[in-house]
Amino acid sequence: RGCATSEDMLWKLDALQCFIRDLHWPDAMFGEHLEKRLKQMASDMIEACGKRIWRHFEIWIKKGGLIGGTSADYLLPSECCVMVNVILDCKVQALKLCALHSGDLHQYHTRIDEYLERILGDMSKSLIQKLVSVLDSVLKKLSRYDEGSFFAQILSLTKPINEDGQAYVSCVNANLEQLRQRISDEIFTLNIFEEWYRQQTHFIFMWLGERTEISLHPYQLACLLLILKKTHGSFELQGVQDKDLNSQAHSSITQRLHVDYEQRNDMNFTEILVYFKGQIFRIFEETANAVK
């Protein structure tokens, strides 16, 4: 459902139409004319409501709430979800309020239905764009750890584990729950989840594609492995289908991360061997000096 104001408007439009219809005008032509005027009024009022809602939606989507102190802690405002519900409710009620009893759906209902559908499409794009921008900010942070980067060695001194990855996973889970709980239409919500996951996968795929010639830093690898694993499970629980979850881009990302992970393990093993070889050589050298 929408908000109290929108529900009141839709209820009054319906009550007015029912009242006029129940008068049973003796003049059929006048009754038909009155019906068309009421349907047109309903269409105009719903359109005006849609314009006002969209204008406020654009303002609210830029705000957001922070459940922490960074951009990775962004939480969609509940007000945005309410506005989506208002448009969804208007779309449902428009069939009753704007369609003529003669069966002519085209004149008023089709126009307002297409208009509301465009608003819902724009809302969906804005929601997804905002959510994907959180991942973009995380990937920009991870870029500072690129091999050969000036900041890579400095940032490594803090011995990070996967903090940015954990922050992003928490953000995804919080917003999945926000959308699931606040938006009334399950199909609309699922479509957002599917497109959000697809764009998330595409962003990571493109980011890795820019780094085919270099190895990932351990911190980059740890964050991406966590993001890939946890978000895959979270979106799966929300109903995203396997064909969307395990796309070709997702498989390519998984393969790349596993290759880097294995290479990193091999490098660590080599470093251990070199270390012990040095220790053994030092012991032999000390023993030889002691014998002399």
Find the mean pLDDT for residues 202-226: 92
Check whether 280 has a pLDDT greater than 90: no
Strands 65-66, 74-75: pairing kind: antiparallel
Tens digits of residue pLDDT in 97-139: 887 765 555 567 788 999 999 999 999 999 999 999 999 999 9
What value does the mean pLDDT of the chain take?
84
Q: Which of 220, 244, 222 is nearest to 232 (CA)?
A: 244
Find the mean pLDDT for residues 216-242: 94
Q: Please tell me the predicted confidence (pLDDT) of residue 29.
A: 80
Please give the share of the chain, as a percent, with pLDDT higher than 90. 55
**Tokens of residue 104, six digits:** 């002519």
* 190 band by pLDDT with thresholds 50, 70 and 90: very high
Q: Which of 95, 83, 78 is nearest to 119 (CA)?
A: 83
Give the helix/strand (H/E) hosting 176: helix 163-182
Task: Find where tokens 């802690």 sit.
Answer: 73
Farthest CA pair distance, the chain: 127
From its phi and psi, is residue 64 left (phi > 0), alpha (psi between -120 and 50) or beta? left
Q: Please tell me the predicted confidence (pLDDT) of residue 157.
A: 54
Count CB neighbours of 16 within 10 A. 14
Q: Please tell me the predicted confidence (pLDDT) of residue 26.
A: 77
pTM of the model: 0.82
Range with the lowest mean pLDDT among 89-93, 110-114, 144-148? 144-148
Q: Which of 146, 165, 162 is nearest to 154 (CA)?
A: 146
How far apart are alpha carbons 10 and 89 in whole angstroms? 9
Find the mean pLDDT for residues 156-184: 88
Q: Please tell me the predicted confidence (pLDDT) of residue 269.
A: 39
How far apart are alpha carbons 285 and 278 in whole angstroms? 10
Find the mean pLDDT for residues 13-40: 84
Tens digits of residue pLDDT in 54-72: 999 999 988 755 444 446 7
Q: Please tell me the predicted confidence (pLDDT) of residue 110.
A: 82
Q: Please tell me the predicted confidence (pLDDT) of residue 21.
A: 83
Q: What Rg value do the Cα atoms of the chain yield, rounded?
A: 29
Q: What are phi and psi of 66, to 5 degrees?
A: -105, 120
Check whether 94 has a pLDDT greater than 70: yes
Q: Which residue has the higher pLDDT, 252 or 285?
A: 252
Q: Which residue has the higher pLDDT, 282 or 78?
A: 78
Q: Hey, CA dihedral for 75, 76, 82, 88, is it positive or negative? A: negative
Q: Please tell me the predicted confidence (pLDDT) of residue 155.
A: 60
Find the mean pLDDT for residues 15-26: 85
Q: Please tell me the predicted confidence (pLDDT) of residue 281.
A: 52
Helices 218-237/163-182 angle, 10° precision: 20
**Tokens of residue 36, six digits:** 């068309």
Tens digits of residue pLDDT in 236-276: 999 999 999 999 999 999 999 999 888 876 554 344 334 33
With H, G, I as helix, E, B as strand and everything else as coil, classify residue 66.
Answer: strand
Find the mean pLDDT for residues 11-40: 85
Q: What are phi and psi of 225, to 5 degrees?
A: -60, -40
Find the mean pLDDT for residues 188-196: 97
Tens digits of residue pLDDT in 39-55: 889 999 999 999 999 99
